């Protein structure tokens, strides 16, 4: 055990997942520190393709059609609108790593795939300014990559998230999404699955369906479309936090139709635009809470959660998991709603 920990300190091993002494809290040692200047560079812009790993998908719009291309050796696809490639600084890796140890110093290989989805060729774009068609294509690409990853050995869960702004952990100001796989179900999702199935067994109702019914047209609703509703949750962890949820019971994001993807694209563009206007373009994390899609896995009503970063964390929050908010979710929704509806009205006029 002592030798394993010594090798970590010297930085000779990468991609190791450690567990807390007692709880199910995980952390990953990647073995590579991000440089201070990384956040200001635009390695994802056109012309810098050679500075990242080769694309596994470059989406190119040509003659009214979308072409699915990919980089070949020393030849990079040009004029792309969305680009997907393996991360150069991955949270997980498929490289062989046999580092296992038991409590109190529990560790296991951080095995998995980590892909970057560059959301726009334009570094000046933001998630709140990307147009609806582009958002729809982003979601289509993410959905396709999700389906492919679940065919790979050792993939138990696929996480999808975006970090926007340095305060939210973004490595660059160029809008992009992360797709990271795990060989186990992440603790937060696992706890959500357990709680959902306990409520389902006790009350005979999906708790998220119950939540949607309670929040539709209520004081915490931000916006609704035909297929989705956005609302500030009853007990948020962040001021202006909001969730986007399918209005009908739906367990698999991978199976929603192109029409539903377009509806979700409109919802994302509108709510993120409203958030930027209401809270002065805050940093935020956008996280997909998805069902594990392996056979015999328990499912949840999938949804998206957006966590604006508007203030530092306190000791109460970091040390005890009890969150403080300077604004109630009702007031947050009351401010977000009009801004989002104004965004929607403008977009509908364009569409």
> What is the pLDDT tens value at each position of the chain, 351 positions in all?
333 343 443 444 467 889 889 988 888 888 666 554 454 558 899 999 999 999 999 999 888 889 999 999 889 999 999 999 999 999 998 887 777 888 899 888 889 999 999 999 999 999 999 999 999 999 999 999 999 999 999 999 999 999 999 999 998 999 999 999 999 999 999 999 999 999 999 999 999 999 999 999 999 999 999 999 999 999 999 999 999 999 999 999 999 999 999 999 999 999 999 999 999 999 999 999 999 887 667 889 999 999 999 999 999 999 999 999 999 999 999 999 999 999 999 887 655
pLDDT confidence of residue 11? 42
What would the pLDDT profile of 48-89 be if each residue is shown by its tens digit?
A: 999 999 999 999 988 888 999 999 988 999 999 999 999 999
Rounded to whole angstroms, how far apart are CA atoms 286 and 239?
14
What would the pLDDT profile of 23-40 be if each residue is shown by its tens digit?
A: 888 888 886 665 544 545
CA distances, 221 to each of 229, 232, 276 (Å): 7, 6, 18
Q: Please indicate, yes or no, if residue 34 is contained in any of the structural domains.
A: no
pLDDT confidence of residue 28? 87
Instruction: Report whether 305 contacts 243 (CB < 8 A).
Output: yes
Give the range of the structural domain holding residue 344, as residue numbers without chain letter.
187-350
Which tokens belong to 84?
């997907």
Domains contained in the chain, number: 1
List 114, 176, 289, 301, catalytic entry = 176
Q: Please indicate, yes or no, if residue 294 is contained in any of the structural domains.
A: yes
Instruction: Report whether 233 contacts 219 (CB < 8 A).
Output: no
pLDDT confidence of residue 34? 55
Element (H, E) at 2: helix 2-10
pLDDT confidence of residue 3? 39
pLDDT confidence of residue 40? 54
Q: Please indicate, yes or no, if residue 199 is contained in any of the structural domains.
A: yes
Q: Please indicate, yes or no, if residue 80 is contained in any of the structural domains.
A: no
Residue 263: which CATH number? 3.30.428.10
Q: Please indicate, yes or no, if residue 146 is contained in any of the structural domains.
A: no
pLDDT confidence of residue 346? 84
For the sheet with 283-289, list strands across it. 65-69, 55-62, 82-86, 114-118, 176-182, 157-164, 283-289, 303-309, 242-246, 228-231, 221-224
How far is C-alpha 294 from the geometric centre of its chain's CA atoms?
A: 20
Q: Please indicate, yes or no, if residue 158 is contained in any of the structural domains.
A: no
Q: Please indicate, yes or no, if residue 255 is contained in any of the structural domains.
A: yes
Q: Please indicate, yes or no, if residue 277 is contained in any of the structural domains.
A: yes
Instruction: Report whether 200 contacts 244 (CB < 8 A).
Output: no
- The verdict on whether 249 is a catalytic residue reads no
pLDDT confidence of residue 306? 98
């Amino acid at each position: 055990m002592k030798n394993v920990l010594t090798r970590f300190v010297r930085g000779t091993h990468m991609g190791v997942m450690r567990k807390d002494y007692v709880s199910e809290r995980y952390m990953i040692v990647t073995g590579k520190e991000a440089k201070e200047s990384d956040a200001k560079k635009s390695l994802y812009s056109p012309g810098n393709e050679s500075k990242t790993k080769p694309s596994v998908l470059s989406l190119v719009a040509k003659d009214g059609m979308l072409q699915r291309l990919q980089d070949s050796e020393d030849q990079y696809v040009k004029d792309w609108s969305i680009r997907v490639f393996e991360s150069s600084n991955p949270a997980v890796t498929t490289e062989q790593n046999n580092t296992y140890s038991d409590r109190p110093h529990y560790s296991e290989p951080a095995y998995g795939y980590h892909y970057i989805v560059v959301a726009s060729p334009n570094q000046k774009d933001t998630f709140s300014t990307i147009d609806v068609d582009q958002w729809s294509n982003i979601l289509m690409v993410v959905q396709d990559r999700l389906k492919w990853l679940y065919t790979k050995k050792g993939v138990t869960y696929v996480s999808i998230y975006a970090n926007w702004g340095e305060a939210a952990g973004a490595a660059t100001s160029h809008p992009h999404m992360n797709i990271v796989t795990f060989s186990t179900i992440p603790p937060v999702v696992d706890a959500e699955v357990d709680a959902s199935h306990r409520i389902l067994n006790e009350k005979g109702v999906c708790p998220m369906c119950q939540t949607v019914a309670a929040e539709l047209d209520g004081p915490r609703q931000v916006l609704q479309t035909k297929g989705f509703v956005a609302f500030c949750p009853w007990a948020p962890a962040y001021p202006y936090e909001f969730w986007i949820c399918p209005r009908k019971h739906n367990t698999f994001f991978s199976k929603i139709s192109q029409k539903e993807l377009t509806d979700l694209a409109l919802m994302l563009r509108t709510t993120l635009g409203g958030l930027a206007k209401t809270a002065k373009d805050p940093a935020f994390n956008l996280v997909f809470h998805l069902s594990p899609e392996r056979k015999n896995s328990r499912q949840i009503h999938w949804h998206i959660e957006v966590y604006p970063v508007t203030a530092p964390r306190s000791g109460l929050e970091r040390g005890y998991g009890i969150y403080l908010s300077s604004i109630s979710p009702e007031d947050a929704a009351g401010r977000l709603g009009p801004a989002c509806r104004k965004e929607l009205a403008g977009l509908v006029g364009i569409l």
